[in-house]
Amino acid sequence: MVVVMAKQNILSEKEQGEEIISSVGMIVTLISFAMLFATLMMGFAMFRFSAPVWPPAGMTKPSLIIPSLSTLLIFLSSLCYFWYEKNIANKKGLDLTIFLGLGFMVVQAVFWHTLSSQGIYVSSGIFPSIIYAFTWIHAAHIVVALSLLLWLRFSGATVKVKQAQLRVASVGKFWHFLGIVWFIMFLTIFVL
């Protein structure tokens, strides 16, 4: 009896350790990612505050309709993920998250297409450079996150419940993080 108890204790301590490790690892990783985006935002701030008028060179800001749609989609996808995290046996939340995430990418592509059809290209000056480059970098991260979500979707059966929970939590942190980054970019570049 005592032996069994001890074994259970060891197991739970091991699980506890795994949980701490995965959250420490993921948080440090996200801080690194945050520094990357913070650098971009710092560059943007520098251009923005040193320019006499913004947007510069007689440009106008792009219409808010499409970026707002992106914001809505990524916000809803994060909500769906929260729902999924509550009960990871039910994959419906994950499916919805992936669907909305793909939707976000489609809307971004439409956005880039609209810009270029208006004659605004990457090389048309600093403001389009910022819009294109920042959304590209964000989209590249979304692509990575989407593939992680797909990996979660199709690898779930083989791993233990505890491990699956840790994976879901880690990928979730990344997904919510990208949502926050998008919201900051939406607010600073498109709205303000």
Partner 1 sequence: MAFFEQHIHDAPKTFLSKYVISFDHKVIAKQFLWYGIIFLGIGGMMALMIRWTLAFPGEPFPVIGHFLFPNTNGVVPPDTYAMLFTLHGTIMIFYAITPILIGAFGNFCIPLMIGARDMVFPTLNMLSFWLAFLSAVLLLASLFTPLGGAAGGWVSYPTLSTTIGSPGVGQTLWCLAIFVLGVSSTMGAVNYIATIITLRAPGMGYFDMPLTVWGLWLTAILNALFLPVLGAGVMLLIFDRVFGTTFFLAGAAATSGSGDPVLFQHVFWIFGHPEVYILILPAWGIVSDLLSFFARKPAFGARSTALSMTSITILSTVVYGHHMYTTQMSPLLTQSFMMLTMTISIPSAVFFANWLGTIWKGAIRFSTPMLFSLGVVFVFGLGGLTGLYLATVSTDLYLHDTYFVVGHFHYTMAASVLLGGFAGTYFWFPKMFGRMMNETLGKIHFWISMLGLNGIFMGMMIVGYAGMHRRIYNPFVYEYLQKLIPINMFITISAITMGFGQLFFVYNFVNSLWNGPKASQNPWEVGTLEWTIPSPAPHYNFDIIPVVKCGPHEIGNPNLKGRDFQYQTEELA
Can you tell me which of 68, 114, 129, 165 binds partner 1, judged by CB under 8 A? 129
Residue choice 3, 50, 117, 119 for contact with partner 1 (CB under 8 A): 50
Q: Can residue 158 be called a binding residue for partner 1 (CB under 8 A)?
A: no
Whole-angstrom CA distances from 120 to 45, 50, 81, 112 are 21, 22, 35, 9
Residue among 153, 169, 172 at smallest CA distance from 99: 153
**42 near partner 1, rule: CB under 8 A:** yes
Residue 63 DSSP symbol: P
CA 5 to the chain's CA centroid: 42
∠ Cα 38 39 45 (to 5°): 85
Residue 118 DSSP SS3? coil
First to last CA, the chain: 66
**70, two tokens:** 């992106």
d(Cα 29, Cα 192) in Å, to the nearest integer?
29
- Determine if 5 is a binding residue for partner 1 (CB under 8 A): no
Q: Which stretch binds partner 1 (CB under 8 A): 50-58, 72-80, 98-106, 179-187?
A: 50-58
**Cβ–Cβ contacts within 10 Å for residue 80, how many?**
21
The tokens 């992106």 sit on which residue? Answer: 70
Q: Examine residue 57 and tell whether it contacts partner 1 (CB under 8 A).
A: yes
Binds partner 1 (CB under 8 A): choice among 112, 132, 182, 186: 132
Residue 53 engages partner 1 in binding (rule: CB under 8 A):
no
Nearer to partner 1, 68 or 129 (CB): 129
Identified binder of partner 1 from the candidate list 7, 14, 92, 153, rule CB under 8 A: 14
* Binding residues among 93-122 for partner 1 as defined by CB under 8 A: 121-122
Answer yes or no whether residue 148 interacts with partner 1 by CB under 8 A: no
Judged by beta carbon, residue 73 or residue 152, the one nearer partner 1 is 152
Binding site for partner 1 (CB under 8 A): 13-14, 16-18, 20-21, 24-25, 28-29, 31-33, 35-40, 42-43, 46-47, 50-51, 55-57, 59, 121-127, 129-130, 132-133, 136-137
